[in-house]
Structure 1
Amino acid sequence: MPRWLKTLFKIFAILVGLLLIALVAATSYINFHKQYFLNAIIKELNKNLHGGTLTIASMNPSFLSGFPGISVTLKDVVLRDSLWKVHHHTLLEAKNFNISVNAFALMHGAIKINKMGLDQATIYLYTDSTGYSNTFVLRKQEKPKSSAAKNDNSTAEVRQFYLNQVNFILDNQKGHKLFHFAVDNLKGKIDYKNDDWNANLNLKVLAKSMAFNTLRGSFIKDKLLQGTIVAAFNATNGIITVAPNTLNIGDDPFIISGKFSTIKNPGDFTIDITEHEILWKRASALLAPNITSHLNMFDLKHPFDVNAVIAGSFNKGGDPAIDVKCTVKNNTLSTPEGTVDSCSFQAAFTNNYIKGKGLTDENSAIKIYQLTGNYEQVPFRVDTGIISNLNKPIAAGKLKSKFAVARLNHLFSETLNLTKGTADLDLSYTANIVDFKLVKPIVHGLVNIKNADVNYLPRKLNFKNTSISLNFTGDDLYLKNIHLQSGRSIVYMEGSVKNFLNLYYTAPEKILVNWQIRSPQLYLGEFLGFLSGKRSTTVKKRNSTNFADQLNTVLEKGSADMHLHVDKAYYFKFMATDVNADLLLSETGIEMKNVQVKNSGGSVNLNGRITQNGVLNHFAINTSVNNVNISNFFYSFDNFGLKDFTYKNLRGFLFLKSNISGNLTDQGKIVPRSINGTVNLNLKKGALLDFEPITNVGKFAFPLRNLNNITFNNLDGKFDLHGDKITINPMMINSSVLNMNVAGIYSLSKGTNIALDIPLRNPKKDEGITNQQEKQERRMKGIVLHILASDGENGKIKFGWNKNHH
């Protein structure tokens, strides 16, 4: 080693040795003058105190821990304000208060604090309900202007500080604020430039409470804060600025910055928090419970980007202003109404929606922009949406969507099967949110469905090329431009529902649709599904949405008031023209009013009801038939179940009034022998053709008369129907070839018993008599045959003499 280098090392060693000797000497000096230096330190620390008391139990110097300065440990330090005996909250209570002083300044009799630290301490900043604070003891004193003060070499500037195992509590009773931080470790360095300073802090702190309003609860409760904070103080404006830097809150790294005011509006602050990938539940858990409870009704499967700005005051009462913005891309959103897949949107939360209305839940709002996604496989877009007043939430927005209707099949697997066709939605809405569900919505806009094939499963109804336009106008719904095709039937419909949206969610069974229906041709047999009971299904029930459940209830329990006009209507063999009817369809059946049809050259009017009872359906109908061709009429209704008396045996024009009831199958056919009621008929210009029971009698009773074509101008009759029995009330038949009186029972099974009184007198002999009374008296003159029609073999009617006639 060169000589000069050896010499340099020796000089350095001597200097270090001298420094150590000096520090040991200074430490020994302090140790022998503990009380003096303790009083000096207390005096230095009391410089900025305003009243109150500072007590220190003892002091232990140590030069090594504060090298190259001298470290002093103050034991059991207690700082209290002058009103401590009133509120009993100690401002500072520390097991160890460590201070490192400038050794060279100490040699000149001055104390300069380089480093300060607390171990096992509690700092309690207390403000009572009147606004008095125990921090008044630290109120800054005005600087003395004397030259002596200016030349004072001592300073209270602290270059370094640390906290270990320190509880920091800010309890503001007047402002309802409570901040409690359990500091595991905090280290900081401060650089001064005149009255300005820059600080760098490393911390590990547990936030036990960060309640800006204790009535609302705490932010980041029981979350660990760990990281670095870089701050700067500007003495001119009194602002402490925290530069953006990463700080871990719980398991998530946040970029945090902020500003804190110390002169103008002291205690005011603004904190900016950003996290580029955070889970919804974690973000929600960082907020106060009153906000968390609302946000937790939603969830996002994947992380998203969020920024929050919190602005308020540590001193003043009330909540801070909170503004949160987030960006979500291709995520999965869970809501009380269902799940939204492929979800993207931008959102903003504020508790100051209307400026000047206060920072409250009532003045809070969640705004959503450019929301897109798939709800239950249905794509949609909401350009702008808002949920306002989180105390009584109101949702509003504009919804657009266009999709194939087949995407809805999984929602209505037990009700509807949809193929082909598209749906186009353009709706604006407003609705209350109660228990996280939409209530009393008000909707404006259109839903257009085009070219859809619909199979309504419970009623086994099929419609082709279906189109419908739904026009929502607030509470009411208008249904327009509806085109239905089922088999050969074509139907055009217009409808409306008053108070639709309110009833849809609260009482769907009370919904009544008013329909105006017209059809060029209607085959009623294609709509017999309305007579069917609900079809049982083996399809496994899914966990459907509230919307789907409601719609299923509406379809099954709602009612329809139908005003119908049909050019041609077909019902099996029955064909009617110019049909007009008022029909009320409900869950229990069909009520028919003012039904008017033209048939067989005449008209038919009826009123009645069909009540659904599973497979069988009960009907009760009042009918008026006017001037219809009786042969065509009997043919249309399969001879009303009669076997011996068919449309082939009849001619003439029928006038009829009936009041009957009976049963229908789910195929629309009358159940044999189920009809009860009365029928009053009048047949004009009638004829009985080839009626075998009469022709058989004629072979031996009237061999010279043509009984194959019996005509009569006017025939009146009354019949009572009782299941398989038809009671023929006494009836006089005046015909071209014979007269007869008929009464008795005709049975569709067994029990036929009909008495026929037939005079042998030929009616042709009385054709010249114009006096009706005389003609009536001569009607039964002469020999009268008394014949009994009764049950024969093979269901045929047999004729014999009526032995019971007297």
Structure 2
Amino acid sequence: MWFSKIINITLYLFGALAVLMGGVLIWAYQYRDEAFQYILKQANDNINGQLTAGDFGFTPFANGIGVSFSLFDVHLQDTAYARHRTELLSLRQLTVQIDAKSLFKKEFQVKSVRLKEGKIAVFVDKDGYTNLSIFQAQDTLPGKRKKRDPAALNKLLGNLKNVNLTNVGFTLENSRKNQRIALKAEDLTNDIYLRDTLWEMELKGRVFFDGLAFNKKRGAFLHHKPAELDMNMTFSAQTSFLRVFPSKVKVYEDTFELKGSFDLAPKGHARLEIRTDTIHAARALTIIPKRLADTISRFRILPVVTATVRMDVPLFQQTEPTVLIDFQTQAFNYESPIGPLLNVMARGHFTNQANPALPAGNPNSRLLAEHVKGAFYGTVPLNTFFTVTNFDDPFLSMEGNFKADLPKLNTLFDENHFALNAGKATVSYCYTGRMNPIFNEKTNGLNGKLDGHAKLENAAFSYIPQKMNFNRLYSSIRFNEKTVDVSYLHFNHRRNKIRISGKVTGLLPYAFNSSEKVDAYIAVYTPDLGLDWIREYHKPYSLKNDKFFTKLIAKIASQLELKAVLMATKVHYRKFEAANVKGRVYFSEKTVKCENVRMQAFGGNFLVTGGIEHFDQPMHRLYAKGKVDHADVQKVFYAFENFGQTTISDRNLSGEISTDFSYSSQLTSAFKFVPTSMKGRLAFVLTNGELNHFEPIKRIQRIFFRRRDFDNVRFENIKNQFVLQGEELNMEQMKVASSVLTFFVGGTYSFRDKTDLLVQVPLSNLKRDVNDTVTHTLDGNNLVIRALDENGEMKLKYQLDWRKKMRRGHRSDSVLFNR
């Protein structure tokens, strides 16, 4: 029994529910057209335009107790639509859920709204007219009789809880302010709660941004970018003010935290703060306007950054939004004009309104990197800060420094060329000028002003190809965009203590891959300059790797022309020694030359101009011309190692010589003379000369004048001119008045096997007394002696029938003298 009662009660309940639902459906269908017309009437009574729909449908008990009405083919037009032909609203479907309780009271209280597949288009024309005038108060429009009923509107929307947009596009086109905002709500839901006059909203879903162009000439933010929104907001209809509480916007894989406000008054602004923890700059550039992105891209600095962006956007004015950015980068690599910077980290700020008195924009933009650190080539620590202004034509102001322990830099050099052994290097600099580009290839110079200082402390390095070691190197160097001023550069090379000062031009452009000439003008002082190391010079060999600094140094050296004023208390090379040396010296990769070098040498004064060239070839060339005053002839022969011959040496000569000379010769790679290449001319005066222990002269004694001392022959003043050609020294006939006899000599003296000298001795010498002062000539009878080199041995040939031989041999002798 009880079971059947339960069944009956249940059936009664279902029956009652069915009757209720049926009643509701009957009621809904009964009032279907009335509801449709009521909705359109309520909407049209509160707008300055017309809302139309092609069809109407409803669903009872949708989402609980209530009814959902759907309008199909919905169009909303303002009163000026016939003129501008732009619908404010065009939807395939607009669904409105009505509270069920209000239906029984014949009232409409909207609980939710769904817009599906369509578009919303807002515009402002050049005259300032906007189709949003459809929502303006009726009594503010002339000729309008409609009166808005705020109470009715509040009754209609006061319980609105949810708005959903599916594939609904939105555009705002402000021709007057040259602005355009376009997006598409793919699936966007806004949960709403009305608290007094304040709407609280939670907006979530997917949106595709076509672009946010607050000034179309400057480009658009979020151009063709999909996004996901999770936003919390409030909106006051009375003040037209939208506040955004901390929310999240995801663009691709990057999530941004967003907060701020939108003042929708006629002169309102959007003020936003956007924060991201880790976004790659390359992706961030795709979010901002292309023109600004292209400008930033030119800097080629695109790290991962943590950034906070603050924007002040005039919504209805034709002015640039104000942008402020605080950023901190993660470590990144940057290819600078002078080489790679690795593991760079930077902290800084950006604003596009550096001067508050001027409008925002590229010309008024400023990027301040207050702390940048990294490693030049991954090795040299760098610290710098810089400011970039005027992003239309970026202007850079930068200060920084490099500091390094030199041995840590060996990885930057070819180990076959350089070895940095000790010391510290510091370089500080300041640059102001154009940033893009910094270097002007047409002028081979910087597009700005540079000032800097470089310092070396107790440095030591080796130049391996020439086995040269330098130590105790200290320097203080100032540089600008044109010159390098060497205040001092002190170093030791072997026993040489070198002190240098001067300036260099054309050097800095090599950091930017220049290949122009480098000129150096310096002063060099040393108390004791030894040049024996020159003999160890080796021909440079090709680089075996591509180390940057080795290539850079080699490139500079190949174009370097060094002009120096040399001052040395002493100079020595092999047997050559000089004092108080002063003159000009020129160096290049292929040449060393001196000009008007004065010194005290050989017991007299020495002036010389000359040099060695063709260092890059197997055979070098030595050339010189100069003047010697009152020098010790023995010391001259000793210093020049008897000029490469052994017949007459410094052990045979003494006296004082003054001479003008010119000389040239090839040198081997070991800096040895090549006798066959020698050329020269020597005009000399020998005073108080002596010829001692000279074997060719002593042979004459064995035949003639045996009682005279030919072992030590003293001369009166001798004056003559010699011409050197290869290994032959041609001399004009000259008179030699000595302590043992007077003779005339001329012809060719050879350093090898071609000596052919003609010696004429006046016979008056046969009766000469030691104290005889008679001047002898060739007018009388003479003894003719011919000195010939035969098979490496000097042979003397003489003739007894002097007059006959003299007449017959006169012409041949003349030829001999003029060789």
* TM-score, scaled relative to structure 1: 0.88
Which residue type is aligned with residue 783 of structure 2? Answer: L
Task: Give me the whole-angstrom Cα distance separating, in 1, the residues matched to 2:795 and 2:30.
Answer: 149
Counterpart check, 1:732 vs 2:738:
no
From 495, 505, 513, the counterpart of 2:502: 495
Letter in 2 for 1:388: T
What per-residue deviation string (whole Å, max 9, x for no partner) do you get for residues 238-263 of structure 1? 32111112221111122111211112
CA contact (8 A) 2:45 2:148 kept: no
When residues 120 and 148 of structure 1 are mapped into structure 2, their CA distance, relative to the original with a 3 A threshold, is closer
1:562-581 deviations in Å (ceiling 9; x for gaps): 11110111111111111101
Is 1:537 the counterpart of 2:542 in the alignment? yes
- One-letter identity of the residue aligned with 2:696: P
The worse-fitting range, judged by mean Cα deviation, of 81-90 and 606-615 is 81-90
Does residue 701 of structure 2 align to residue 698 of structure 1? Answer: yes
**Residues 23 and 103, structure 1, Cα contact 8 Å, conserved in 2:** no
CA contact (8 A) 2:344 2:372 kept: yes
Q: CA, structure 1 residues 264+132, in 2 after alignment: closer, same or farther (shift >3 Å)?
A: closer
How far does residue 485 in structure 1 lie from its aligned partner after superposition? 1.0
C-alpha separation in 1, matches of 2:571 and 2:676: 27
Alpha carbons 1:486, 1:526 under 8 Å: kept: no
Question: Residue 373 of structure 2 aligns to which amino acid in structure 1?
Answer: T
Distance 1:165 1:152 in 2: 27
Alignment pair present for 1:486 and 2:493: yes
Q: Is the 8 A contact 2:528 2:569 kept in 1?
A: yes
Match of 2:715 among 712, 729, 753: 712
- 1:703 partner SS: coil
> For 1:370-409, what aligned pairs fall within 5 Å after superposition?
370-382=371-383, 384-409=385-410
Q: Identify the range of structure 1 (147-156 vs 210-219) with the bigger mean alpha-carbon deviation.
A: 147-156
Which residue is 1:243 aligned to?
A: 245
Aligned-pair CA distance for 1:486: 1.0
Secondary structure of 1:116 counterpart: strand
Structure 1 counterpart of 2:658: 655
Partner residue in 2 for 1:46: 44
Structure 1 residues 78 and 423, CA gap change in structure 2 (3 angstroms)? same
Write the distance in 2 (CA, Å) between the matches of 1:685 and 1:11: 158
Following superposition, the deviation at residue 519 of structure 1 comes to 0.5
Give the corresponding residue for 1:636.
639
Q: CA, structure 1 residues 152+671, in 2 after alignment: closer, same or farther (shift >3 Å)?
A: closer
Alignment partner, residue 791 of structure 1: 789
Q: Give, in angstroms, the shift of residue 651 of structure 1.
A: 0.7
**Cα distance change on mapping 1:801 and 1:494 into 2, 3 Å:** same
For the 8 Å contact 1:306–1:324, the answer to whether it is kept is: yes
Change (3 A) 1:6 1:705: farther
Instruction: Give the percent of matched residue pairs that are identical in Structure 1 and Structure 2.
Output: 22
- Give the drift of 1:161: 0.8
Stretch of structure 1 that moved more, 191-200 or 354-363: 354-363
Letter in 2 for 1:789: A
Q: Deviations over 1:492-533 (max 9, x none)?
A: 11222468656875866343222122101111233568x765
1:122 aligns with 2:119: yes
CA distance in structure 1 between the aligned counterparts of 2:10 and 2:367, rounded to whole angstroms: 71
Per-residue CA distance 1:328-347 (angstroms, 9 max, x = gap): 35555555544433433312
**1:163/1:619 CA distance change after superposition, 3 Å:** same
Q: 1:473 to 1:743 in 2, by over 3 A?
A: same
Q: Is the 8 A contact 1:509 1:558 kept in 2?
A: no
Match for residue 592 of structure 1? Answer: 594
Greater CA deviation, 205-214 or 562-571?
205-214
1:69 CA drift (Å): 2.5
Change (3 A) 1:574 1:30: farther
- 1:797 Cα deviation after fit: 3.2
Cα gap change, 1:10 to 1:497, in 2 (>3 Å)? farther
Question: SS of the residue aligned with 2:40?
Answer: helix
**Match 1:752 to one of 735, 739, 755:** 755
Q: Distance in 2 between matches of 1:9 and 1:684?
A: 154
Q: Which residue of 2 aligns with 1:312?
A: 313
SS in structure 1 of the partner of residue 362 of structure 2: coil
Q: How far apart are 1:386 and its partner, in Å?
A: 1.6
Question: How far 1:221 moved relative to its partner?
Answer: 2.9
Question: Could you report, residue by residue, the CA deviation over 1:531-587 in whole angstroms, capped at 9, with x for unpaired residues?
Answer: 765x22342214x38xx8666543432322211110111111111111101123235
Please tell me whether the aligned partners of residues 510 and 552 of structure 2 are also in contact (alpha carbons under 8 angstroms): no
5 Å matches for 1:299-698?
A: 303-328=304-329, 332-333=333-334, 335=336, 337-382=338-383, 384-413=385-414, 416-435=418-437, 439-440=446-447, 442-456=449-463, 461-472=468-479, 475-497=482-504, 501=508, 505=512, 509-526=516-533, 535-542=540-547, 544=548, 552-612=554-614, 614-615=616-617, 616-698=619-701
Q: Which moved more, 1:750-759 or 1:680-689?
A: 750-759
CA contact (8 A) 1:442 1:475 kept: no
Native 8 Å contact 1:504 1:554 kept in 2: no
Give the aligned CA root-mean-square deviation in angstroms. 3.6
Structure 1 pair 98–235 and aligned structure 2 pair: CA distance change class (3 A): closer
Alignment of structure 1 residues 49-88 onto 2, 5 Å: 49-51=47-49, 53-65=50-62, 67-84=64-81, 87-88=84-85
1:681 CA displacement: 1.4
1:16/1:311 CA distance change after superposition, 3 Å: farther
- Superposed displacement of residue 398, structure 1: 2.4
Write the letter of the residue equivalent to 2:716.
N
Question: Equivalent residue for 1:275?
Answer: 276
- SS of 1:278's equivalent? strand
SS in 2 for 1:428: strand
Contact residue 524 and residue 569 of structure 1 kept, 8 A:
yes
By how many angstroms is 1:437 displaced? Answer: 6.0
User: Matched residues in 2 for 1:351 and 1:400: separation?
Assistant: 28
5+ residue gaps in structure 1? none
Tell me the alpha carbon deviations over residues 689-738 of structure 1, each in whole angstroms, 9 at most, x when there is no partner.
Answer: 22222222332133222222221131112122223332222322222212
Q: 1:768 to 1:149 in 2, by over 3 A?
A: closer
Name the CA shift for 1:360/1:722 in 2 (closer, same or farther; >3 Å): farther
| Separation of aligned partners in 2, 1:183 and 1:240 | 19
Q: Secondary structure at the match of 1:472?
A: strand
Aligned equivalents of 1:336, 1:19: Cα separation in 2: 83
CA contact (8 A) 2:190 2:203 kept: yes
Gaps of 5+ in 2: 441-445, 800-804, 811-819
Distance verdict in 2 for CA 1:518–1:436, change over 3 Å:
closer
CA 681–147 in structure 1, closer or farther in 2 if over 3 Å, else same: closer
- Decide whether aligned partners of structure 1 residues 151 and 220 sit closer, same or farther in structure 2, where only a CA change above 3 A counts: closer
Cα distance in 1 for partners of 2:384, 2:725 equals: 68
- CA 1:592–1:134: 2 relative to 1, 3 Å: farther
Tell me if the contact between 1:477 and 1:498 (Cα under 8 Å) persists in the aligned partners. yes
TM-score, with structure 2 as normaliser: 0.87
The separation in 2 between residues aligned to 1:331 and 1:628, in whole angstroms, is 70
Report if the CA contact (8 A) 2:438-2:447 is conserved.
no
Partner of 2:161: 159
Taking the aligned partners of 1:184 and 1:78, their CA distance within structure 2 comes to: 20
CA distance in 2, matches of 1:151, 1:286: 43
Mapping 1:277-296, distance limit 5 Å: 277-296=278-297
1:290: Cα distance to partner? 2.8
SS of the aligned residue for 1:648 comes to: coil
How big is each residue's C-alpha offset from its partner over 1:142-182, in whole Å with a ceiling of 9 and x where there is no partner? 69999986577743454311111122223334434333323
| Cα distance in 1 for residues equivalent to 2:299 and 2:417 | 29
**Amino acid aligned to 1:373:** G
Q: Is the 8 A contact 2:249 2:255 kept in 1?
A: yes
* Structure 1 residue 77 displacement after superposition: 1.9
What secondary structure, in the 3-state scheme, does the structure 2 residue paired with 1:672 have?
strand
